[in-house]
Chains A and B, each alone.
Chain A
Amino acid sequence: MIKKLIATAALATALVLPAAASPDIGKEAPNFTARTADGKTVDLKSLRGKIVVLEWTNHECPYVRMHYGANNMQATQKDATAQGIVWLQIISSPPGKQGFLEGPAAIKVNAERNAVPTNVLLDPDGKVGSLYGAQTTPHMYVIDEKGTLVYKGGIDSIPSYRADSLPKAVNYVRETLTALVSNKPVPNPSTRAYGCTIHYGS
């Protein structure tokens, strides 16, 4: 019986898919270097001392379109960047899949929808996405000044692609940033990410 249990446990451990691993809250956020839409590179480590928001996006996904269509995402970005918070959009769609954009196109899309992230990171090989276990668009992460991951999950509390959910929903990113700025504990550090599947290139 014990032998069997041990064997089962070993099998279970061996078979677990490593791909979906997502970093732990309260631990150091995994470091990455990525190309930006305006042709530079960003090293996460160089942003120490600032609060960083990561927003996985796919401009054609209905959930993303809803949040931009209702000006929800832009308003959250505006309030964050106004306080000196760094907001990075990340596009992990590979070429040929929905949401993939080259740098200039990504900048243009943001201009058209009045989005104001600090920058857009291009991640067509899905390296950063896999590192963070990003699964959906939107999928949000917040990193504090010390480089610790303090939030991961959805943009808000109601998984919906319909704008009528917005007035009732708690915007978790806003909530997290307010808590961080006023030096209070993050009320909901890990929530449900919802949206369209990110189709990683193989």
Chain B
Amino acid sequence: MKLSHHATATLLTAILFCAAFSAQAADIAKTEHVTARLVTDARSVEAGATITVGIHKLIKPKWHTYWQNSGDAGTATAIAWTLSQGASAGEILWPAPKRLMIGPVANYGYEDEVTLLTRIKLPDTLPAGEAFPIRAVVDWLVCEEICIPEQVTLELSLPVVAKGFSTGISIRAIESARMKLPVENAWPFTASVKNSKIELTAASSDISRDKIANAHFFASDWGVIKHAANQPMSAEDGKLLLTLEPYESKVPQTLRGVLVLDEKSGGKTVQQAYAVEAPLTGTLTSQNNFAMQEIGFATALLFALLGGIILNLMPCVFPVLSIKVLALVNHTRVSRHRRHLHGIAYTLGVLAFFGVIAGIVLVFKAGGTEFGWGFQFQSPLFVLLLAYLMFAVGLSQSGLISFGNSMSRFGAFGSNEGYAMSFLMGGLAAIVATPCTAPFMGTALGFAVSQPAPILLAIFFALGFGLALPYLLLCYWPSLLRYLPRPGPWMERLKQLLAFPMYATAIWLVWVLAQQAGANAVAAALCGMLLIAFGAWLLASSGKNWRALTYSFSLASIAAALALGVYFVKDATAPEQTVRANARYEAFTPTRLEELRAQGRPVFINLTAAWCITCLVNERVALERANVISAFEAANIAYLKGDWTHRDPAITQMLARFGRNGVPLYVYYPAGASAQPVVLPQILTPEIVLREIVQSKTARVEN
């Protein structure tokens, strides 16, 4: 009996031992190269809780397993969870990897030891007293010189307790993995494409040049950077810049990954990882001739100057310039000195305006907001005031307004005040130039906004100087005027004729306003113009006796015009915020573009704005022509239109991707998800559009 008692005890012990052993065998598994263990920070769990579990891998020396982006070769570890109903497991939280170079091939992975953490959310109802089982099937590829795929199944079970009674436990494997997780939102990162490289910049007062021993960026996705390329670093206090080699000739919209820094701290090196997620601005040089070009500072300056000169011929500027030239013709006998001063005043007026614009762009750039060429037109108030101004200039041309004796005409040359007028005319020419984008300009300005302040200013001034140059030349070499007809009564007629383009411009601006601020704003604007005309008439018709009174009345009516306009426009909201899709086009969104491209369809993108004259002209003369429409249909091209009449960050970003900061932008993506986009010129003809579509097609067939 005693013996049998003993035997029972032994048997019991054995059973208990086996049970314990098998339980342990389930949460740990050993392959030839890896010992894997399922760990958790919970000792017991309760309904609705979130716990952290980890797959801890002890890897044979010199062997490695892979990160989420495995690099040039290999495959990331995969975990398939089996949990009870209502429970869910999150994505793997990957600790910072190491770059493993094998000859010219670079892989991203882990050596020696790693824990892959996952958060598990427990069901909201879970009866206390039961067990919560966790099962993970883990697949990995472990490599040294050769690669072995391995798979293990790990299991553990946690006791469920009543709410408020669950307990945690500190596990070294989990704690040390947490330390190696990239820190989210630690520093502001920016990324841009420059000189065919991706520049990743981190800005923080924590960065000190002497402390950084090494820095490396790991892209989360394959195909973004060349994994094997060196990453030259330049560090200064407060700023770190890494230069990355793009994988191919296209870059993603957002740069995602992990920046790993080795920092010297008290004689040793500490590693810290930072999660990077930064919009990637700018584009790469493409082998394709028509596509985006990357340019240097000198070229950008030249382009800006050329663009400025061409602006003179654009419909926005030409009438204003003509007024000045007419005045010059009329005053050929004015002293050389005075003429030169007028030319300089006009140039300074243009430059002042461009300086202001550049200043605003810089201020907003510093604040993180991106503005593009013509951004001021996105404000309905600006559009309204400009409409008033145009109307007033028109009235003056028609001979209705005379602003006192000394400034009797916009083109006045009479006295010293005339210089102020020349200055203002320069500013006016620059203001009216903004809705036009001339060739060369887009490229130059796109380059400018990605540059530091001095370069940006230089390019804006070059553009302004280009705009002022033709008039300045006429002032210095009036002999050029000999090619114009002699002064005579025709000049007065022409001056009056030029009032009509001004009125037309005002009408167009009111039309823009209608889209921005609705019908009430249009009515307010028109009433405002009525008041301005009335005020002007009062001024012109005032006799000597009643001068003070009529002046007051006319000023009052002009003030009323302003007040009325401001009141109705200030809080107006746009009647229609987005491009209405019709049979021919859909509204542009980055998601829609990706979708269409994933379907393999060719896509034509038109980024436009109601206030952009160049855009509207291009649409009329090229994009809405019957032969272009039918070519689009025949090639099954999806037509996406983005309207930048109002501020729209998605469109601003899309512009930046192509190195631009203003509309218009026309991009053609040939069929196929990986086809290279082609950028079309800023001035379109049906032939240019058709040629592009046909060429992209044949180029690909020849492949």
Contacts and interface: CB of A to CB of B under 8 A. Distances in A.
A130 B248 CA distance: 18
Contact of B234 (A4, A97, A161): A4
A192 B222 contact: yes
Interface in B225-268: 226, 228-230, 232, 234, 241, 243, 245, 248
Given A185-B697, A188-B673, A15 B104 contact: no
B104 A20 contact: yes
A186 B700 contact: yes
Contacts of B19: none
B73 A26 contact: no
Contact of B146 (A60, A194, A195): A60
Contacts of A15: 230, 232
B148 to A, nearest CB: 7
A192 to B, nearest CB: 5
Contact of B72 (A4, A62, A135, A183): A135
Nearest to B107: A197
A18 to B, nearest CB: 9
Contacts of A11: 232
Contacts of B74: 194, 196-197
Nearest to B102: A197
A136 interface: yes
B228 A19 contact: yes
A29 B454 CA distance: 45
Contact of A144 (B105, B222, B671, B703): B703
Interface residues of A, number: 53
Given A8-B234, A188-B672, A16 B245 contact: yes
Given A130-B104, A188-B674, A20 B147 contact: no
A162 to B, nearest CB: 7
B147 A61 contact: yes
Interface stretch (B137-145, B312-320, B656-664): B137-145
B75 A159 contact: yes
A185 B672 contact: yes
Given A8-B232, A135-B105, A161 B75 contact: yes
A109 interface: no
Interface in B501-552: none
Contacts of A90: none
Contacts of A24: 287
B287 A62 contact: no
A64 B179 CA distance: 37
Contact of B143 (A2, A150, A197): A197
Interface of A: 1-2, 4-5, 8-9, 11-12, 15-17, 19-20, 24-26, 60-63, 97-98, 130, 133, 135-136, 144, 146, 148, 150, 159-162, 183-200, 202
28 contacts: A8-B241, A9-B243, A12-B230, A17-B104, A20-B72, A20-B229, A26-B699, A62-B149, A135-B72, A162-B149, A184-B701, A185-B670, A185-B700, A185-B701, A187-B600, A189-B672, A189-B703, A194-B75, A195-B73, A196-B143, A197-B73, A197-B143, A197-B147, A198-B73, A198-B103, A198-B105, A199-B102, A200-B104
Q: Which 8 A-B pairs have the closest CB atoms?
A: A185-B700, A19-B104, A197-B73, A12-B243, A15-B230, A98-B146, A200-B103, A12-B232
